[in-house]
Chains A and B, each alone.
Chain A
Amino acid sequence: MFVLPPPPPRYTIPVAYAAGAANGMAVPVVETNNTITHPERGCPLQVGEGTYILQDDLLLATPPPHPSEAPIINPNPLATLPTPPTSGVKLSLVTLDPRKKPPTFLKSTATAPQFGDGNPALAAPPVAAKDAAKRRKPKNNIIKSSSSFVSRVITHETSAKRLGDRDSSGIFAFANINRAFQWLDLSSPIKEEHLTKVLFTKAHMLCHDVNDHTKTSSHLDIVMGSSAGDIIWYEPMSQKYARINKNGVINNSPVTHIKWLPGSENLFMASHANGVLVVYDKEKEDALFTPEANGHSEEVERLPLDVLKSVNSKNQKTNPVSFWKMANQKISSFSFSPDQRHLAVVLEDGSLRLMDYLKEEVLDIFRSYYGGLICVCWSPDGKYIVTGGQDDLLTIWSFPERKVVARCQGHNSWVSSVAFDPWRCDQKTYRFGSVGDDCRLLLWDFSVGMLHRPRAHQASTRSRSSIILPNLQTNNRHRADSGDNRVRSDSNETEKYSENIDQTPSHPVEPRSRTALLPPIMSKIVGEDPTCWLGFQKDCIMTSSLEGHIRTWDRPSDSVKS
């Protein structure tokens, strides 16, 4: 008979419950400077058209926590306290040089109507002709601000001179990192030194966008959405800002994505983590939001879209302009179609929802292979949509045909950002890139011809129909009353399609065996931390990562089709 020793303490090592920053990243104690490195022969991207050379790697300095907001130290890794949302570094790039604009592929020149056209309440107030050219600025000076929302603003000592001397065709970049928001001039020889750095007190900026329509050499309209739900309209040249959705008065959930409405001076759309899409006017005051009567209430409830305030509402004196509830799942991202009529929204529940946002209608819903969707973008001609998500896949959807055309397998983890390279797209072939949590950058080519080759046709002698049958059956049962099997799709049916819908359009998940599989043309680990943003410019590819690395690859010479 032996006696058991007294039980050891359950948490045997104190370090198991050691303190740490809430989101797992090192927290600096002092304000530091951005650094830049030029890795020699580092990380070339080799593809058919040549080799993309890594030009530099700019590391943004993570700001120390605000003195009043000491980092949350919870020694218990099991603490059930929710951690505040944050996001990796994302960039908004802006150039004033028209030659650097991406090529467009739209044939029809008919411009889409503006959002809210036809609502007299939204008509812009007449302005005197001479004022029209002059952009309206936000009201408050951010440097002198006494707001508790903004902590402080650090401007470069020679920022005025730098702005004056700079090459007007250069690229500005705006980047969020932790609680800081930096304005960089990428054409400057000292591009690692920010022009302005705004430090917020508590909130992290999660997303931002520059208005392409109103930009001039003396005016840039930037909106940024924060983890607190507040939105900042910021004009960097004059250092003015305004705060919208202050204290979350309209919606208090974090802003996950924000974009100016295409072609609009004033209106921008923000998606919130609680599944709400809101259009705000940068110049309107906030008002406590109460849902209005549904503008579509007389119709059959067929859209999974709750229009809590329609753009057609008569009450347009205050924000929001419109307020749509899509779901209660987080909206991860959204993207406007090049023809400015449609909107693709991806959600954490794994759905891709296509909207006619001008009509405030959901046209179609698709599902990821599995897991949530994270990012979405349109091909430059508006024919294809590419999504990336937690199934480690990129999925190409045909917009006119309303179906999945291919799944792209190559990432080793979740896909965080996807973008088309309009300089390498033409009518038949498309180039897009993607980055993910696996620290990789992947480039993909597809052409119309290769896409319409379901794998099952080429490969298998076995009949797969028995395998997928169950799926289809349940599906058919599910929609038996609609009497119309929409599994097949036809490019000409788009119109008819949206008319004879008597219930939520929704598509089954295509089995793997019937979907074309696309391999990447290039896959490269570009860093040691998850990559979270990707952008194509005329002369370079850029990525940014969770910890603040902004990497730029120069295109091979002559690679850009002009």
Chain B
Amino acid sequence: MKLFSKGHKNGASNPPATAPPVKKDLQVPQISPLEKRLQDMGSIREDGSDKFYGMENYGNTCYCNSILQCLYYSVPFREAVINYPQRTPMESLEAALAKNLRYQNPNAHLEAEALAAKQKASSPPSARQAGVPPNPNQKPEDKESPEYKKKVALQTLPILETKNNASSYGMSESLFTSLKDIFESVVASQARIGIVRPQQFLDVLRREHEMFRTAMHQDAHEFLNLLLNEVVANVETEATKQAFADKALPPTESADSLGMLTSSTGSKSPNTTRWVHELFEGTLTSETKCLTCEKVSQRDEIFLDLSVDLEQHSSVTSCLRKFSAEEMLCERNKFHCDNCGGLQEAEKRMKIKRLPRVLALHLKRFKYTEDLQRLQKLFHRVVYPYHLRLFNTTDDAEDPDRLYELYAVVVHIGGGPYHGHYVAIIKTEDRGWLLFDDELVEPVDKSYVRNFFGDRPGLACAYVLFYQETTLEAVMREQAQEDQATAAAAEAGEAGKSNGSPFSPPLAHAQSAPMPPENTAPFTPLSRIPTAPPLSTYPEEPSEHSLASPRSVQPPLPPIPDESAPPLSPKKSDHQLRKERRALEKEKDKNEKNRQKEQDLHNREMYRREAEELKRAIEASRADTVDFAAENGSPRKSSSFGFLKRGSRSLSQRLSKEKEPRVSTSDLSTAPLLPDAVPEAPLKEAEPAHSFTKPVQPIKPIHQVQPVQSPISSPKDFPPISNPKQPKQPIQPIRAPEPLAKDQHINHTKPGHTARWRSFSFKKVS
């Protein structure tokens, strides 16, 4: 590996072209490595791709920080969050920022140190500042330690406080809006670097989710799960609200949304809210081949991420292949074959039928060990390449050779699942790879990403990998850029041999730049791909086909009454946006009452329908217990919001496998509440968002030792992810058409099945 050498020569070695717009003051003694890499950035961009904010840690909230950072740099996701339901007008953001963004004295830490030194001189022992964890090893503070750097960052960088701004874009406060608040204020801020205080976000999170209320360590993957599902739920709630509003409008003005709405009795999510699905969702098919009659039956389910089992000395490629490996259904797990009628031995395998645009891979590093009766962290060496294709696709998958590139890695540092630290290493659009360690943001080398295969000392292992789709052309272009960058750097630095600075030279920023920086169109990295899955293929929404079919570069437009929704493009002028908003507000006022009435009515009707459906479904599921095969494909139709549930279900899909042992205990306590809670969630927009989460608190922090803290038990603590069980399909012998009903029957009518899966999955795991 080439050592990037010339720490101090940077200024000199810069070619003149890159020098000018640098705002750094040469008088300032040290300029941070991040600032170095951010030299020559030009003017502030509108899409937020040039903002590099650390996030304050409020005590074990690194799980949240690392995931938020990964999502912020998932370009299409960020664009969508910012633009849904619309961009907040600039002035209102600026006004908010004026209050919320606090610049600090860049030399604060020097002064503080001087002060501390003075204090120390007078009162030696405890000059430690509150909030700064003790650092046993270093008596004088080690300036290279992350702790010190974080402290300095907190003292010197601009601090960005986010406040609830949801009303300015017409939503009630939710996890989504607080996420949007963070993203928007970072994008709008004039400072390129700083520190976000995600206090408001955490408040909402903790208000709505019991398990995050403690200051305990949490599982980052689980949090990702939760967050994506919450965003889906919030957005759909909003969409329903909008849709009702639309319905109240004269048909001419909202023909489109009305059209959508008419079909909404069956399928409740309008296309325009599907942007989370668009990005993270893929379809798995489980193919079951009866060994008696050779008939192959298929069942589809969707996933938002894949959790893969690990093996020592393997690669993610191989883990994914294992994920799809054939599995025998025999003995107690026999398969009920429709064709030959009866329980038969069968072969089953899971394949990917529709590839997601963003592939989130969860490496199951926390494994339940029976002898220890708890989760253990696996330090297997699992290598992951910078690029990936999926081998486990079905024969009829579209674009089965899709190329993915690694762009974010969440790293868990620590010996077990109940404690430790999370950081994120992220490939930014044009500044190469950066390490986000709470408040600290540092540029790193591309090869740094490979330090977390799991075999190195220090207990740091990759835990969640984010791959996004790309093309070979894009990859080659990027490699060419890397070439140029390193060539220039090498030329400039040929002389210096010292490796005093661990960091790349200033030019290294061009390394791994995925896109030319000037290209600000949203979705650029992905939109080029000719083979993106068409929008219209969701089987459960056939009626929307015509609406959805033209696949555009941009994500679908959110439904906004009386006016075409603002496109997600940041290029859209603020002026226009503002105008739209004003118009929108007027319209809203006008229709407020109308809508309310309509809603109430509709709500009641929906409830009734839901109840009926639920009953039907439960019955159906009972019937299905004995007739497993009959349900192939059917779940789609049965529930109006089945979509959401499936999403969340398959989310935690693989997760559940390892979690099973405890699933059963915690599940029983929470499950009875779920069936009610879930159906309501998306529809009851009038109700405060958190109300439905209330009942789900049977698990108190008292149990911490196991259920609460562990990544495993948690999904069932959140109604929105509500069905931690379903995910088990790959190994599950019986399955109901209606997920909800299934949950019920699992928990109440036939608890025995749970045990069965469990044992099976253990077999598999071992």
Contact = CB atoms under 8 A, between A and B. Distances in A.
Which of A12, A21, A530 neighbours the largest number of chain B CB atoms within 10 Å of its CB?
Answer: A12
Interface string A229-268: 0000000000000000001100011100000000000000
Contacts of B497: 247-248, 252
Interface string B518-538: 000000000000110000000
B503 to A, nearest CB: 6
Nearest to B456: A24
B59 interface: yes
The SS class assigned to the B binding surface is loop
Contacts of A372: 385-386
A123 interface: no
Contact of A12 (B2, B4, B414, B487): B414
B705 to A, nearest CB: 16
Interface string B439-455: 00011110110010001
Interface stretch (A279-287, A353-361, A424-432, A508-516): A508-516
B215 A4 contact: yes
Nearest to A276: B490
Interface string B378-394: 00010101111101000
Interface string B339-374: 000000000000000000000000000000000000
Interface stretch (A102-110, A398-406, A465-473, A482-490): A465-473
Interface string B554-586: 000000000000000000000000000000000
Which of A248, A328, A513 neighbours the largest number of chain B CB atoms within 10 Å of its CB?
Answer: A328
B438 A10 contact: yes
A171 interface: no
Interface in A498-514: 508-509, 511-513
B444 A80 contact: yes
Interface in A405-422: 409, 411-414
Contacts of B387: 350, 370-371
Contacts of B311: 412
B60 A10 contact: yes
A143 interface: no
B2 A273 contact: yes
Interface in A7-21: 7-21
Interface residues of A, number: 75
Contact of B399 (A20, A252, A349, A467): A467
A510 to B, nearest CB: 9
Which of A23, A414, A473 neighbours the largest number of chain B CB atoms within 10 Å of its CB?
Answer: A414
Given A328-B487, A371-B386, A474-B530, A16 B459 contact: yes
Contacts of B473: 474, 478
A315 B435 CA distance: 47
A273 B2 CA distance: 7
A10 B133 contact: yes
Contacts of A81: 502
Interface in B204-231: 215, 217
Contact of B314 (A82, A350, A413, A509): A413
Contact of A371 (B33, B60, B385): B385
Nearest to A275: B483
A412 B459 CA distance: 23
Given A19-B457, A76-B146, A470-B531, A9 B401 contact: no
Nearest to A365: B476
B413 A413 contact: no
Interface string B406-438: 000001011100011101000000000001011
B385 A438 contact: no
Contacts of B460: 16, 77-78
B314 A80 contact: no
B317 interface: yes
Contacts of B589: none
Contacts of A391: 317, 385, 389
Contact of A24 (B4, B419, B455): B455
B486 interface: yes
8 contacts: A20-B456, A77-B458, A82-B448, A82-B499, A413-B315, A438-B315, A474-B471, A509-B472
Ranked 10 nearest A-B pairs via Cβ: A20-B457, A7-B59, A77-B458, A371-B385, A9-B133, A77-B460, A328-B483, A412-B318, A470-B530, A390-B385
